Each structure stands twice: as C-alpha cells, then as structure tokens.
Structure 1
Amino acid sequence: MTSKPQGNQDDEMNGLRMRPALFICDIQERFRSTIFGYPEVVSTARRMISAAGILQLPLYVTTQSRAKLGPTVNELDVSKAVVNTDKTRFSMMVPEIAQNLKKGTPVAIVGIESHVCVLQTTLDLLKAGHPVYLLADGISSANKEEKPIALRRLAQAGATVTTSESFLFETMGDASVDQFRQISSLIKNEKTETQKSLDTLASRL
C-alpha cells in the first residue's frame, strides 16, 4: 500500500463548486477479457485521472487480490494517488482509505464490478455520510445486465448516477474558474472516446 499526504482540504477551493475525491475501483490487468466494455472503462478512468490532476482532486486507488488479478492497468497513471492499496474486501472503504478521506467529502467512482465492489463501496460511503457520484460511462461488470440493476439500487439508496462529463462541469460550477479552459480542452480532445464510452456503457440504463 502506498499513501501520500492529502494536504489541507480546508484550503481555498479556487472557485470550484465542490472538491470531490476520485475512486478508481479495481481496474486491473486480469479483467481485460472478462469485463463488458473494459476498454471504455479504462478510457473514462484515464480521462478522469487527467481531470483530477487539473482540478487537484484527491485520487484513491484499489486493486482486488493483486497477486492473483494483477496490478492496475498500465494505461492509468495512479502515481499521484493519496492511497493506492490492495484489498480482499469488496468495498474500497478499507481502513487506509477511510482514515484519509475527510468527513463529508463527495466521491466519484469509476471501475468494476458494478454489482460487487462498486456497489459495496457506494453503500459504505453513503453510510459514512459521503455524497456519491457513479460515473455510468466508467463502470461495468462481466455481465452487462448486472449494471442497470446495481445502479438503480444505488440511486434508490441515495447515490447520484451521472456521466463523467456532467460530473466535471458540476464540480466546476462556473465557467470563470481557473481550470475551465483546461477541462474544456480535455473534453474536446476526448470527444470521440467519450462517445464510445457513453454508447457502450450508458446507452441502455
């Protein structure tokens, strides 16, 4: 497990509407051939990590039984994660993360699987008082039919089901923030990849 100081979250938010954390849930090598729409999950996660860097959002990363299922895929640069830890629990809310996550911090989640680790992570976060945003274009399962059932249950529990682009604009809240131009450029440059992710992972919810 690696952990880096998160800094003072009470610092000036530079005009952002909110300063959420980004959770990257178990996007590992061994799942490439088993998860529906895996390239699109990876693409959305990569885009969100880039956006988190621009917006200075804390990043939390887990792997599930890394020795058996492999490391986080090499397309994702998780070197700046506040916490990057392996786990056997299905939920990402292991002590290393729970202790570093400031009370009430909103959390956006991408990763797998929607009906197991994502679901249990979300329920634990909601129970602990964290608003949760499920990025539908960055979440999947081996069986695609599991996802809409899981997301409906989580929405009923109080989570917000949204998309990566909508979430980024909600985080900024105002076109006058310093990061708006960089985020807009990222969205423009990734337009084709974003459309693929939406078509594959969010069109039948």
Structure 2
Amino acid sequence: MNKREQTVFVLVDVQGKLSEIVHESEKMLTNLRKLIQGLQVLDIPILWLEQYPDGLGPTNEKIARLLEGTTPIPKMTFSAFKTDTFKEQLQLLNRNQVLIAGIETHICVYQTAVDLQLNGYDVQVVEDAVSSRTNENKEVGLRKMAALGVQVTSVEMALYELMERADDPAFKQLLKIIK
C-alpha cells in the first residue's frame, strides 16, 4: 500500500507524435492528466522523463502544461535507472515507493520499472495511464512486469490509496479531478 510521504511518480516519455499514435492515446492522455493533477493535490513529487528529445520531440503539450516549473530529465537509455541524473534526483527524494506511467509499456516503462524493483523500490505501474503502439505489446509489458513483482494499479486506485480517508482535505479536490 502506497503512503503519501514515501511515494514518487515517474512519468515516462509521453512525447511527440508517438504520444498521439499509441493504442487508445486519448484515453491514456486523459488518465495521465487526472493522475498528475491528483498527485499534485496530494503533493507527490514527479520525475518527468524524455527519451532522446531531439529525435522524439518534446512531451505532449497536454501533459507538459501541467508540469510547468519543472524540468524533464533527458535520457538515451530505455531504463531511466541507467541514467545518472534520474538516479540522483530519485535518491535525493529519499522515497521508496514508485508509481510509474507513460509510454511505451513494453520498452521504457517496463525496463525502468523492473530496474527500480530490482534495486529495492516498491513499484506500481498505473495500467490505465500506460500504452504502447499496439495493445498486445502493452499487455505483454504489463504481464511481464507483474511476473517480476511490479504491482498493477489504476489512476483512481492509486489516488484513493494515497489519500486513505474521505475526510482528507484533498478529497473534494480529487473528486473533481477524477470525475
């Protein structure tokens, strides 16, 4: 069970044209917006990644707009855990629970989640906020992550789990975001 003070969110490579052509892209982008806004209400830190931004382009504007005031971490490795800047920023946060979402499920999300898991982090992939170019690749990525110990969650489940209580001051704000 994720705890607010122990959780960090890792947003993986929701960039350029790819972010608009992955399977059910609009649904994924909508869910990512809800997730990011909800996590911001709950004061959860966000590490924002971009794979080879010169080639793949910047983060999708619908997402980047929500992250103003923060800077994406560029990477060339499929697993962010193999990028020093990411590891340094993650360690500075001193949190051991990771929510992860983005694209592509079977490549960068998968490799990052598994490396985090193997290095002692408690990792949950947000199933309704990840995608790949094909649904088959998304499903393979989710199954393989689960087989390796990464838990699967959803936007609503993650936000409510972090909130814990209906009398939490964030409850009404989150309700507006989720609906």
- When the two structures are superposed, what TM-score results if normalisation uses the length of structure 2? 0.89
CA distance, structure 2, for counterparts of residue 36 and residue 71 of structure 1: 19
Shift of 1:78: 1.7
Aligned to 1:195: none
Q: After TM superposition, give the deviation of residue 66 of structure 1 in Å.
A: 0.7
- Say whether the 8 Å CA contact 1:104–1:131 is kept in structure 2: no
Deviates more, 1:103-112 or 1:51-60: 103-112
Q: Residue type matched to 2:143 in 1?
A: R
Residue identity in the other structure for 2:75: K
Which of the pair is proportionally richer in helix? 2
Report if the CA contact (8 A) 2:11-2:49 is conserved: yes
- Equivalent in 41, 46, 62 of residue 75 of structure 1: 62
User: Cα distance, 1:117 vs. partner?
Assistant: 0.2
Distance 2:97 2:42 in 1: 14
Deviation digits for residues 162-204 of structure 1 (CA, Å, limit 9, x no counterpart): 110011111111122221221122112xxxxxxxxxxxxxxxx
Task: State the partner residue of 2:72.
Answer: 84
Q: SS at 1:174's partner residue?
A: coil
The CA distance in 2 between the partners of 1:65 and 1:100, in whole Å, is 19
How many residue pairs match? The answer is: 172
Aligned partners of 1:55 and 1:179 also within 8 Å: yes
- Tell me, yes or no, if the aligned pair for 2:4 and 2:44 is still in contact at 8 Å: no
Matches of 1:154 and 1:36 in 2, distance apart?
19
Q: Does 1:18 align with 2:4?
A: yes
Determine whether 1:149 maps to 2:135: no
Percent of aligned positions with the same letter in both sequences?
A: 28
- Alignment partner of 1:45 out of 10, 29, 32: 32
Give the greater-gyration-radius structure (CA).
1
Separation (CA, whole Å) in 2 of partners of 1:146 and 1:169 = 28
Could you tell me which amino acid in structure 1 is paired with residue 4 of structure 2? Answer: M
Question: Which 4+ stretches in 1 moved above 4 angstroms?
Answer: none
Distance 2:40 2:116 in 1: 23
TM-score, normalising length from structure 1? 0.78
Indicate the RMSD between aligned Cα atoms, in angstroms. 1.7
Structure 1 unaligned regions, length at least 5 = 1-15, 189-205
Q: Separation in 2 of the partners of 1:17 and 1:30? A: 35
CA distance in 2: counterparts of 1:33 and 1:182, whole angstroms:
28
The structure-2 alpha-carbon separation of the partners of 1:74 and 1:33, relative to structure 1 and needing over 3 Å to count, comes to: closer
The SS at the match of 1:90 is coil
* Structure 2 unmatched ranges of 5 or more: none
The one-letter code matched in structure 1 to 2:101 is V
What is residue 106 of structure 2 aligned with on the other side?
115
